[in-house]
Amino acid sequence: MIPQEGKVLVDFWAQWCGPCKMMMPVLEKYSAEEDAVTVVKINVDEQADIASEYGIRSIPTFILFEDGEVVKKQTGAMSIQQLKEFTNN
């Protein structure tokens, strides 16, 4: 389940998705550098009900939550700088 407190970046991904695989090291580095944001990965093949609940149609899709509420949503691979801008605005 998605944490209800603070900022949470949820990565909707799948094992077979090339851009999702490219994002793995970027997300690891981002997570190590950004203490204020919790990163959660949701595999759309294993958690199809959650993906459907949030209207995920393409992956990777990133949703930023603040205190349990959806703040932003973006589809597609991003650089670490783009991730930081996405979560800090």
Catalytic residues: 17, 20
Q: CA-to-CA distance for 55 and 77, rounded, in angstroms?
A: 18
What six digits make up the tokens of 25? 């090291």
Which residue blocks in the chain are alpha helix, DSSP H? 18-33, 48-53, 80-88
